[in-house]
Amino acid sequence: MAVGLVGSALIAGSSAVAASAQTVSREQWDAFAAQQPLLSQLLLAHEASAVARFLGISVPQLQNEVLGRTLADVAADHGHTADEVIQVMQDTANADVAMAAQFGMLGSASREALRAQIDELVPVLVVTQAPTTYTPDA
């Protein structure tokens, strides 16, 4: 999964960068990752792993298959629906947010704002075309 896609969709609201459900930029993700490096890495790793596991493929295979396509396309290739992928992503992200709050990485207001962003942005993310290239460290 192109790194910026999952991260930017899940985190844009907590980075104090205005974001909408229509677009989330790589710059918005980078801003959050700079503010919360551990949390951003945790969310990315868990999201990619959860979706890949759900689809019965590896994370590298998911990263490859989504290039220039949507997560909904990849899910369909593996016999699943976009709604199922949305649920997996929301459940995983919300569990990570709860864990981050439990360890004091997020306050109550930030936690609730982030959950709202997850609910709003994940469905858009699943039907948004991923970039055509993947650079793990970019």
For the chain, the domains span 3-126
Q: 2 or 68, which is more confident? A: 68
Q: What mean pLDDT is predicted for residues 12-23? A: 35
DSSP H stretches of helix in 56-81: 59-66, 71-77
Give the pLDDT confidence score for residue 72 in this predicted structure: 95
Could you report how far apart the first and last alpha carbons of the chain are, in Å? 13
Q: What is the mean pLDDT of residues 84-91?
A: 94
Tell me: pLDDT of 108 over 50. yes
Q: What is the pLDDT of residues 20-79, one digit of tens each?
A: 334 445 665 566 666 666 666 666 778 889 999 999 999 999 988 988 899 999 999 999
pTM over 0.85: no
pLDDT (0 to 100) of residue 32: 61
How far is CA 75 from its chain centroid?
15
Please choose, from the candidates 79, 75, 77, 80, the residue with its C-alpha nearest in 3D space to the C-alpha of residue 125: 75
Among residues 75, 43, 69, the alpha carbon closest in space to that of 131 is found at: 69
Q: Residues 35, 97, 107, 114: is their CA dihedral positive or negative?
A: positive
Confirm if 108 and 101 have CB atoms less than 8 A apart: yes
Task: Give residue 74's pLDDT.
Answer: 95
Would you state the pLDDT for residue 27? 65
